[in-house]
Structure 1
Amino acid sequence: MITRLTPQDAEFYRLESSSNPIHIGSLAIVRCTDAGDGAGPPILNYDRLVDLVESRLPLVPRYRRRVREIPLSLGRPVWVEDSRFDITYHIRSSALPDPGTDEQLHDLVARLASYPLDQSRPLWEMHLIEGLSEGRCAIFTKSHSALVDGDTALEIGHVILDTGPSPRELADDAWIAPREPSDVELLVGALAHLAAQPRKAWEVARDASAGAFAVIGTAGRAVDSVVSAVRTVATGAPDSPLNTRTSRNRRFDVVRTDLEDYRTIRGRFNCSINDAILAVVTGALRNWLLSRGEALTESTTLRAVVPMSVYVEGSDGDQLKPEAEVSSFLIDLPVGEPNPVMRLSHIAHATEFNGRQRRGIRARTLVHLAGFAPASLHAMSVRAASTFAEHTFNLVITNAPGPQTPMFIGGARMLEMYPVSPLLRNQASSIGITSYDGRVFYGLNADRDAMADIDVLAAAVRDSMEEMLGACV
């Protein structure tokens, strides 16, 4: 099966560079043995993970397809079935020195997140990381942003999760590796496509004469529903150490917080959970800037792109669910404001204003899919963020709700889940946030040279939460 990349898929495929790999990462921590000391028999191992993923690939068929360029650049690249698809190439195994610490895990994830995916194969990898202390193991997944659109193409984390310890059964997959089309066949197909659409043929010729590949049909129209309402306020972002030339090396750290604390803040100040999360992030960024000796005044701000799926409380008040769309807007975070209540007030007013204007990407497929996981929403969020001009924001904060009941991977209970969002061009850090099973997890991805002090930001998140809770008394 041959399908043409959409304009936005093609744009993401072209965005990648050695210092800016554009893949969405997801880190799941699971209980791999029944015994807390890790001495029991494994619930999940490499072979079982391979079998599980292979059985679920029919639900994400694009994970067996690779990108092929059209000769002479006569049109957008295409997805073709990979005739040499080898699942063991994509699923890999690593082990930490026993007993592996969380810090060792984060260092390994940073290294894995640093290098681009192999563009000659389907654009994803999954790493089973064993040897973590207390009978735990980790699953780190990388999926290229061109691969996941959140609607017709989901992130593989959606389909390997189950709501119970017994993996759900699917029909046998009869997939057989097909013969791939030759370059001549791709060229003939592209010429036929252009012959049927003269306007696109003219666009291809125009762009080729300019010496550059352009996304045919203009990617701007494809994402207009995400950002058109806020383009007019996209002025230059404030100067910040968050914006600098980046290397290809990364650092990664995490923060674990309790969802109930955000509900306490919401109840005290009549704001949304999203507002409470952004207020905590703002306080953390303020403390991090102060630790660097940055001069702050009350008017100092950082501008963030905040693509998020909005949290909606269920009828029982305990379940968080996403709306059927992902929205994106720019917001100035008041990092110069010393009063945490005033910071929250500024953010609540800003998000309310943007909420009246926002237009979003539909995500009905995500909302209604059994075993919902937030990785696809983070992928959509990064797509939305990348449509803003480079100099109009300081950082990206993606925020997507996950399931509030325990989930399982191959029978092993998932304990924690962290997004690992990519760094866009000249962005020293990205902050990904996910809720799961009563907790809110932060994944902090950063350039190794520009933000060697990522651990300071992680500690600042915890301090900011304490400050916000203190203001609730």
Structure 2
Amino acid sequence: MVTRLSASDASFYRLESSSTPMYVGSLQILRKPRNGLSYETLLATVEQRLPLIPRYRQKVREVSFGLARPVWVDDREFDITYHVRRSALPSPGSDAQLHDLVARLGSRPLDKSRPLWEMYLVEGLAKNRIAIYTKSHQALVNGMTALEIGHVIADRTQKPPAFGEDIWIPGREPSDRQLLFGAFGEWITRPTAQAAALRSAVTDAVTTTGQLVELGRRATEVARTVARGAAPSSPLNTTVSRNRRFSVASGSLDEFRAVRARYDCDVNDVVLAVVAGALRNWLLSRGEPVRATTTVRAMAPMSVYPDTEIDSSSPGQAISEVVPFLVDLPVGEANPVVRLSQISHATETHPTAPSLVDARTIITLSGFAPPTLHAMGIRVATSFSARLFNLLITNAPGAQNQMYIAGTKLLETYAVPPLLHNQALAIGVTSYNGMLYFGINADRDAMSDVDMLPSLLRESLDELVEAAR
């Protein structure tokens, strides 16, 4: 089946560079079963779920001369063993070694002649654990009809559900001549849209308006966001390299909820206040000038309830809406409670605040939603100029019960968000089974001290927990 890329998908495909690849990544830590998790078992699990995510068996074909947006075509030579791979750490592998591996794998470009995703089974991890690292091109995931692969391979029971036999017959791949004729036909029937596609191909740009329409965003919300103006100057904004550093942090969801209950705010407010406190101390450790009015602006897309009723019987239903949220993190404020109060006020004045998704209700959604929610957040953020904010923070509420992958217990889950243009740091926060997991992706050169952030996040949370007692 041949389908043309949407305007936003085409922009993700065309606008990435070697230093800012548009991949959404995830790292899952699992308890190694007594008999282990074999590569063949994982391979079979992924293959069973591919009918739920048909884009993962399709590749992108360009149209000659850029006369139309590229198209999705079935990969007639699809080889799942190319995409699902195995790797190993020198046993017993440390968390630091795993994070270094994730940073290296995340820096490698995807092969654009094949479907745009990879998965790695990482063995040799200490403490009787194994890991799965996945990266998918942002163009693959739109959150509505196209989900992230991590969304569909997780189960709520240890025994995976039965799947019928998948008999996949790839469609015939069109020739270059057929693609050109198709483009000419669209020029006749939709000349305005095709002219826009041609401008995109020539200038490697896509209009913000086109992306916003694609995402179904209200014009008033866009104006409200853009009116904030350029982000403040920050060492977080610099030329980034193609190399990365990756680190993680975690905290008990009960601690965040205790702070929320004490100060009558949202868990997301507490998360942002914790990040603000950590960034404040990181700036001070670098000798950066931090005044009382100093702020760091974050793009923190928020998950909200959809307008329509959720059908939890199918993972292809709309799981939520993700809307843009620019927030100035008050890193110049020394008092953690005042920082939280300022962030909470910013959230309360956001028009979608009453309909925020809570981690306790995400369980009603089918599959494991966070990987797709993170991808949706990234999609929202990239529809705005990176000059409007200093860093990206995605926060995806997940199931608060034990999940399994191929019958193997899922212990921890971390997002690996991409770095945007001239941004040296991105943070993805996932709530799962009573914990919050912070995935911290940074430029290797610009943030050589990123390993400080986990302890700074812990200190920032401790400040708020102590104040809430």
Aligned residue number for residue 172 of structure 1: 165
Aligned residue number for residue 440 of structure 1: 436
3-state DSSP of counterpart to 1:75: coil
CA contact (8 A) 1:419 1:432 kept: yes
- 1:356 deviates by 5.0
- 1:394 deviates by 0.5
Distance of 2:433 and 2:353 partners within structure 1: 31
Question: One-letter code of the match for 1:14?
Answer: R
CA contact (8 A) 1:307 1:398 kept: yes
Distance of 1:142 and 1:323 partners within structure 2: 21
Aligned residue number for residue 54 of structure 1: 47
Residue of 213, 218, 222 corresponding to 1:221: 213
Distance of 1:459 and 1:169 partners within structure 2: 43
1:452 aligns with 2:448: yes
CA contact (8 A) 1:32 1:412 kept: yes
Aligned residue number for residue 16 of structure 1: 16
Aligned residue number for residue 402 of structure 1: 398
Distance of 2:355 and 2:75 partners within structure 1: 36
Distance of 1:25 and 1:430 partners within structure 2: 12
- 1:416 deviates by 0.2
Aligned residue number for residue 109 of structure 1: 102
Aligned residue number for residue 309 of structure 2: none
Distance of 2:323 and 2:354 partners within structure 1: 6
Q: Deviations over 1:233-263 (max 9, x none)?
A: 3311111110000000000000010000011
1:324 aligns with 2:287: no
- 1:224 deviates by 5.7
Aligned residue number for residue 315 of structure 1: none
Aligned residue number for residue 426 of structure 1: 422
CA contact (8 A) 1:28 1:139 kept: yes
Distance of 1:139 and 1:241 partners within structure 2: 32
Superposition pairs of residues 131-170 of structure 1, within 5 angstroms: 131-170=124-163
Superposition pairs of residues 232-381 of structure 1, within 5 angstroms: 232-310=226-304, 324-355=320-351, 369-381=365-377
Q: Deviations over 1:377-399 (max 9, x none)?
A: 10010011112212111000000
Unaligned runs of 5+ in 1: 35-40, 313-321
3-state DSSP of counterpart to 2:26: strand
3-state DSSP of counterpart to 2:217: helix
Distance of 1:172 and 1:47 partners within structure 2: 17
- 1:372 deviates by 2.4
- 1:222 deviates by 2.1
- 1:345 deviates by 0.5
3-state DSSP of counterpart to 1:351: helix
- 1:433 deviates by 0.1
Deviates further, 259-268 or 172-181: 172-181
Q: Deviations over 1:118-157 (max 9, x none)?
A: 1111010000000111211000000111100010100011
Question: One-letter code of the match for 2:211?
Answer: A
Residue of 92, 96, 111 corresponding to 1:99: 92
Distance 1:168 1:377, change over 3 A: same
Distance of 1:326 and 1:394 partners within structure 2: 20
Distance 1:100 1:472, change over 3 A: same
Aligned residue number for residue 63 of structure 2: 70
CA contact (8 A) 2:226 2:388 kept: no
Distance of 2:2 and 2:330 partners within structure 1: 48
Unaligned runs of 5+ in 2: 307-317
CA RMSD of aligned residues (A): 2.3
Distance 1:181 1:367, change over 3 A: farther
- 1:370 deviates by 2.1
CA contact (8 A) 1:229 1:358 kept: no
Distance of 1:259 and 1:137 partners within structure 2: 24
Distance of 2:275 and 2:319 partners within structure 1: 22
Question: One-letter code of the match for 1:270?
Answer: D
Distance of 2:352 and 2:88 partners within structure 1: 49
Identity of matched residues, %: 54
Residue of 386, 390, 393 corresponding to 2:386: 390
CA contact (8 A) 1:327 1:360 kept: no
Distance 1:183 1:140, change over 3 A: same
Question: One-letter code of the match for 2:155?
Answer: D
Question: One-letter code of the match for 1:277?
Answer: V
Distance of 1:211 and 1:67 partners within structure 2: 18
Distance of 1:204 and 1:469 partners within structure 2: 52
CA contact (8 A) 2:298 2:393 kept: yes
1:413 aligns with 2:445: no
Distance of 2:73 and 2:371 partners within structure 1: 24
Query: TM-score when scaled to structure 1?
Result: 0.91
Distance of 1:215 and 1:160 partners within structure 2: 33
3-state DSSP of counterpart to 1:295: coil
CA contact (8 A) 1:327 1:358 kept: no
1:81 aligns with 2:77: no
Distance of 1:218 and 1:63 partners within structure 2: 25
Distance of 1:204 and 1:422 partners within structure 2: 25
Aligned residue number for residue 467 of structure 2: 471
Deviates further, 439-448 or 326-335: 326-335
Distance 1:357 1:340, change over 3 A: closer
3-state DSSP of counterpart to 2:431: strand
Q: Deviations over 1:275-325 (max 9, x none)?
A: 11111111111111111111111110000101122599xxxxxxxxx9832
Aligned residue number for residue 212 of structure 1: 203
Aligned residue number for residue 458 of structure 2: 462
Aligned residue number for residue 319 of structure 1: none
Question: One-letter code of the match for 2:280?
Answer: R
Distance of 2:356 and 2:179 partners within structure 1: 34
Distance 1:356 1:60, change over 3 A: closer
Question: One-letter code of the match for 1:140?
Answer: Y
CA contact (8 A) 2:83 2:119 kept: yes
